[in-house]
Chains A and B, each alone.
Chain A
Amino acid sequence: MEYEAVIGLEVHAELKTGSKAFCNCTTAFGGEPNTHVCPICLGLPGVLPKINRKVVEFGLKAALALNCQVASFCKFDRKNYYYPDLPKNYQISQYDLPLARHGFLEIEVNGEKKKIGIARVHMEEDAGKLIHVDGSGGGYTLVDYNRAGVPLLEIVSEPDLRSPAEARAYMEQLKAVLEYTEVSDCKMQEGSLRCDANVSVRPLGSREFGTKTEVKNMNSFRALQRALEYEIERQIAILESGGRVVQETRGWDESRGVTVSMRSKEEAHDYRYFPEPDLVPLVIDQEWIEKVRRELPELPNSRRERLIRDYGLPPYDAGVITSSKALADYFDRAVALFPDAKQVSNWLMGDFLRLLNASGLEPDASPVKPEGLAELLKLQQEGTISIKIAKQVFEEMFATGKGARQIVEEKGLVQISDAGELAAIVEKVLAEHPQVVADYRGGKDKALGFLVGQVMKATRGKANPALVNQLLKERL
């Protein structure tokens, strides 16, 4: 039987405010344990939380960028549970009246566009970090509350995703929107962007939902896609063998490449939500919404369209470049200095991203700035250096932070475009390879490539390839 997957994603993004959601402690990542805490986020008796205006503004920004309807009236609720990751025994969250609902995000997979519904967007506080330590008598748990109270936006999609590739595209697009609107750092490794998935399978064509599982602990786009692929296979195998999928929470084990059943928190799903009595409701009028809407920056999709329209970039290139705001900003600055957009995009998608990824850097932290890349491309365009040398120089620029021209001069990499100088080398190569010359003259056109290669080798890549071709042909 053919099956179809039904996937919904629940994403948590830490908002990049300076202070926490309900107190003035810093939200800075890291820091010695329990040094970013105060009586409010420690839940000491008698304290009162107070809402950070920026949390609401960031929430509004994201909600509008996700095409949501913003609630004119919303409130916070207490989600009650006993678990030491929050010291109050409840999390301040939003339940029946979230900040926004009914949005959508447009994704593109294999050239096909699809709208993915967004059920709701709400504000809540993050929890602390637990470290479980083995030991005699069952061990113990250490708790660091630095992260407790850091503002989160929870964004819940409709179950509109039908494949791991769609889920990944949605997640990438959502990350781009949150970055463009500058409401979150979206660093998956640091946990400032996290994702849980609800997954079920059903016979293709069926309208009913199968039993779902919730998959957690996917810390990268790749992990998300792999975990979903595994989980879908697992569920199909169960159904094929006549079994039934058990509704449960499963954790993705990255090293083993499997999802594992997690012992569920005891009666965890009885959260007994009730309105947070310590916070008064929010009334968001049209004026406020319009003010935020006016301040929205250009969003990834329209920026992508702009790159296609204004620079004639292929849709694929435009998609890669605009997937990260920092990369798109880099592109814009480089193109302003070196107007061959396709060349710039080739470099960015090739050597630039390769070196960045290898060193784990974001585009705005690249040792090679847009000015540097433009200088390098100019040197290549005016024929001072060959493309091969340009790649070599780029690596050097990336490693040392030096300018292109400086490296070219220091290392004597200027392209040899002097016909006289090259002619001597060409003669020498021809004399050394009589058999190849004979082959070429006998009709083996490919032999020319070998001879060009020999000249390039003799000049350590500095010969002007067009000129070498021309000189060889003249002599053959």
Chain B
Amino acid sequence: MAITLKEVEHVALLARLYLSEEEKQAYTQQLNSILEYMQKLNELDTAAVEPTAHVLPLKNVLRDDEVRPGLPREKALAGAPEAQDGQFKVPRVV
């Protein structure tokens, strides 16, 4: 069950978190203790319980297919660290 240092590094990479060696050690320990605590839930017999898809007792919340104006482009780009030609400019990804 234990989480390894390697898994912490993997998850950190997926989440684009850059962790120091100390942080990696600390999170490995913390994640393990959280999982250990969650182990308690496994003591319950849930064979007859449907998995919970959502915590709210709601279903089929739908809206009509209506077009409404969105944001003006200047506003859409206002929060972007960099923009060019009306587009978001990001570091090259491939």
Give the B-binding residues of A (Cβ under 8 A): 17-19, 23-26, 32-39, 41-42, 44, 50-56, 73, 75, 80, 82-84, 97, 130-133, 138-145, 263, 266-267, 270, 272, 275, 277, 279-283
Contacts and interface: CB of A to CB of B under 8 A. Distances in A.
Q: Ordered nearest first, which 9 A-B pairs have the shortest CB separation? A: A38-B70, A24-B68, A142-B87, A54-B65, A53-B62, A143-B88, A280-B58, A139-B92, A75-B53
Interface in B51-72: 53-56, 58-68, 70-71
Given A84-B88, A132-B94, A263-B94, 17 more contacts: A19-B68, A24-B67, A32-B73, A34-B87, A37-B71, A37-B76, A38-B71, A52-B65, A53-B63, A82-B14, A132-B92, A142-B88, A143-B87, A267-B14, A272-B14, A279-B54, A282-B59
A19 B66 contact: yes
> Which bucket holds chain B's interface residue count?
35 or more
Given A24-B67, A277-B54, A50 B88 contact: no
Interface string B26-47: 0000000000000000000000
Contact of A141 (B53, B59, B68, B89): B89
A36 B73 CA distance: 9
A140 B81 CA distance: 13
Contacts of B76: 34, 37, 42, 145
B94 A32 contact: no
A52 B62 CA distance: 6
A193 B88 CA distance: 26
Main secondary structure of the interface of A (DSSP, over half): loop
A143 to B, nearest CB: 4
B90 interface: yes
Given A39-B71, A277-B54, A140 B89 contact: yes
Contacts of A83: 93
B74 to A, nearest CB: 10
A37 B70 contact: yes
B59 A280 contact: yes
A139 B65 CA distance: 39
Contact of B65 (A18, A145, A270): A18
Contacts, number: 134
Main secondary structure of the interface of B (DSSP, over half): loop
A142 B85 contact: yes
Interface in B2-30: 10, 13-14, 16
B88 A34 contact: yes
A25 B63 CA distance: 13
Contacts of B62: 50-53, 56
Contacts of B64: 52-54
14 contacts: A18-B66, A24-B68, A25-B68, A37-B70, A37-B71, A41-B70, A53-B65, A73-B53, A80-B14, A140-B90, A140-B91, A144-B88, A267-B10, A277-B54
Contacts of B87: 33-34, 131, 142-144
Contacts of B89: 140-143
A84 B13 contact: no
A75 B68 CA distance: 26
A33 B85 contact: yes
A410 B90 CA distance: 62
A267 B7 CA distance: 13
Nearest to B94: A132
Contacts of B79: 44
A169 to B, nearest CB: 33
Contacts of A82: 14, 16
A341 B16 CA distance: 64
A75 B56 CA distance: 13
A328 to B, nearest CB: 27
A417 B63 CA distance: 67
Contacts of B77: 34
A280 B70 contact: no
A271 B31 CA distance: 20
A283 B13 CA distance: 37
Nearest to B79: A44
B56 A280 contact: yes
B54 A267 contact: no
B65 A138 contact: no
Contact of A280 (B61, B68, B71): B61
Contacts of B73: 32-35
Contacts of A280: 54, 56, 58-61
A97 B92 CA distance: 35
Contacts of A131: 87
